[in-house]
Amino acid sequence: MQIFYIYHQNKFQRLIHSNFWLFEFSIWLHTFAYSMVAIFIPIFFLRIGYDIGIIMVYYLIYNAFDVPLNFFSRWLVRKIGARLVIMLGSLSSLAFFVTLYNFTLDNWFLLVLSAFFYALYDTFFWVAHLFLFMKCSKKNNNILSDASALEIIRRIAGLVAPAIGAVILIFLDRKFLIAVSAVTLVLSIIPLFKIKNLKDKPKRKQKSFKEFFNNWNITRDYISSGFLAIHNTAENIIWPLFIYLFFLNIESVAVIPIIASITTIIFIYFTGRVAKGNRNIMIAVGSVVIAIVWILRLYIESSIFYYASIFLVGLFTVLVSIPLSSYIYEKGEKKDTLSASTYRNTIHMTANLILFGILSVLVNVFNISFVMAAVSMLVVVFISYLLGGQFVFGKKRIFGVKFFR
């Protein structure tokens, strides 16, 4: 909370009165509620008796539902507004929590139903809340600062919530944790309805897919974001599974987001103040380091290295995710805000669908997922840096160096 205070201390009026702060507070509550449970979901499956193959199938089903539901969510935002869609997303998450609460072994009906409500929650929340973020942000020409602020909010919640979730799991049980998360999630809706003078229905005409992606600079950002999603999913789902099976205790999993968050919060703050012209360099550096860490995870078997790698990945993911997000938000606000949030989530989940489609038919999911995560980050380097305006023959720059006047 001290970091949160430092960030806002020179902007006290903005903290108290602005739409953006109310939006931030809602996201903090939401992330806190979700983070108490999210990292432990694969662990719930293992403890009930499901094997890793079934867990991969579950996430495959979830992403298969998620991809088309993004477009339904976009349609719904236009009809009833983003705040109501977020509320429906929270209700969907309550239904998802009910299925988690009642999970039993070999209940495929409940498993598929859970994946459906999970997807419904994801699409409603992410499409609508990213649309609201772009509407609340007042820095359309350089949204990097607000993007970093939003990430700080998520990281602070991600720092505290998993530790609390682990304590509840150790001393109480899974069902009590789910109940606490559900109540907090409902509370996260309240600040959204305190936002004043915010039109949460898009007014401009919706652009077609071809019209939206008629520029390589826009297409590049979304493709890069999709490959980044493969890394994020491997880090947030596959890696906690690996850590749990290596240490065989809940505490080992709970410490993952704590390590990832504790220093990157400060790093995120400074990343938000980097000059716009340096963003592609940040993406390239961050992606290369992350790829190296994934490769090292294949060969180094050490508990110290495993936790050190979590710190490194959390740190350098910031260098990639914040600039990429700011590119998408800035261009999306100018083109079609709602479609920007829709396509961002759709491409993320499509990438995850491919990842889990491959993993669901394999025996050794860990080695393959580590390799896929490493390769995906190298592809991000190629797309965002080499094809991102730094590598242009005959014009201005090659790898950021002037060669032609």
Q: What are 156-172's pLDDT values in tens digits?
A: 666 677 777 777 777 77
Task: Please tell me the distance from the alpha carbon of residue 288 to that of residue 311, in angstroms, as a whole number.
Answer: 15
The answer on pLDDT for 267 being more than 50 is yes
Average pLDDT over residues 297-319: 86
User: Alpha helix locations (H) across 336-364?
Assistant: 337-359
User: What average pLDDT does range 1-17 have in this prediction?
Assistant: 41
Average pLDDT for 36-46:
82
Per-residue confidence (pLDDT) for residue 400, from 0 to 100: 38
Identify the band that residue 4 occupies on the pLDDT scale cut at 50, 70 and 90: very low
Angstrom distances, CA of residue 328 to CA of 23, 189, 225, 255: 19, 25, 9, 31
pLDDT digits (tens, 9 = 90+) for 77-122: 888 888 888 888 888 888 888 888 888 888 889 999 999 999 999 9
Q: Looking at this protein, which amino acid is placed at residue 327?
A: Y
Residue 258's pLDDT is 67
Output the pLDDT for position 369.
Answer: 93
* pLDDT band with cut points at 50, 70 and 90 for residue 64: very high
| pLDDT in the model for residue 91 | 84
CB 374 within 8 Å of CB 295: yes
Contact residues for 75 (Cβ-Cβ < 8 A; gap 6+): none
Residue 397 β-bridge partners: 402
Sketch the domain layout of the chain as residue ranges.
20-195+212-402
**Is the model's pLDDT at 372 over the cut of 90?**
yes
228 C-beta neighbours (distance < 10 Å), count: 28
Per-residue pLDDT averaged across 20-31, rounded?
73
Could you give the CA distance from residue 239 to residue 1 in angstroms, rounded to a whole number?
A: 28
pLDDT more than 70, % of the chain: 75
The crossing angle, in degrees rounded to 10, of helices 303-335 and 279-299 is 150
pLDDT-wise least confident of 95-104, 264-273, 278-287, 392-401: 392-401
Helix (H, G, I), strand (E, B) or coil at 394: coil
pLDDT reported for residue 349: 93
- With bands split at pLDDT 50, 70 and 90, how would you rate the model's confidence at 19? low
pLDDT at residue 145 greater than cutoff 90: no
Phi and psi, residue 312, nearest 5° = -65, -45
How high does pLDDT run on average in the chain?
77
Candidates 59, 174, 129; CA nearest to 337 is: 129
> Full-prediction pTM beyond 0.85?
no
CATH class, domain 20-195+212-402, is mainly alpha
179 contact partners, CB below 8 Å, separation of at least 6: 97, 101
Tell me if 9 sits within 8 A of 2, measured CB to CB.
Answer: no
Q: Which of 40-54, 226-240, 321-335 has the highest mean pLDDT?
A: 226-240
What pLDDT does residue 321 have? 83
